[in-house]
Amino acid sequence: MANHQTTVLAEREGYVIDYDAMAMAQLARQHGAGRFALDDDIDPLVGMVIETPTGSNVDKNEPLLTFYHTQPLERRRPCRC
């Protein structure tokens, strides 16, 4: 199990229209879930779980997805998933 987990919460109630899969993949890759170069190691503990699928009704502060990671996140800008 990864030693860090970050849960993205809904900012308001509504419907989940979609997730930015490219942004999610880039974040996961930056934390070791994929390779930048062929000889890079893959961290099998890094991954994401979509808690609320697209098309679902969501309440404010309801979990949308959980990101499991082994390195702390850098707080540069909000994630728009």
| CA dist., res. 70 & res. 47, Å (int) | 10
Report if residue 18 sits inside a domain: yes
Question: What domain count does the chain have?
Answer: 1
Amino acid code (one letter) for 41? D
pLDDT in tens, 1-13: 889 999 999 999 9
pLDDT of 77 higher than 60: no
Residue with more model confidence, 76 or 10: 10
Say what the pTM is: 0.83
Q: What is the CATH number of the domain that holds 55?
A: 3.90.1170.30
The domain of 19 spans 4-69
Instruction: Specify the residue for token string 């404010």.
Output: 60
Residue with more model confidence, 49 or 81: 49
3-state SS, 4-67, equals: EEEEEECCCCEECCCCCHHHHHHHHHHCCCCCCCCCCCCCCCCEEEECCCCCCEECCCCEEEEE
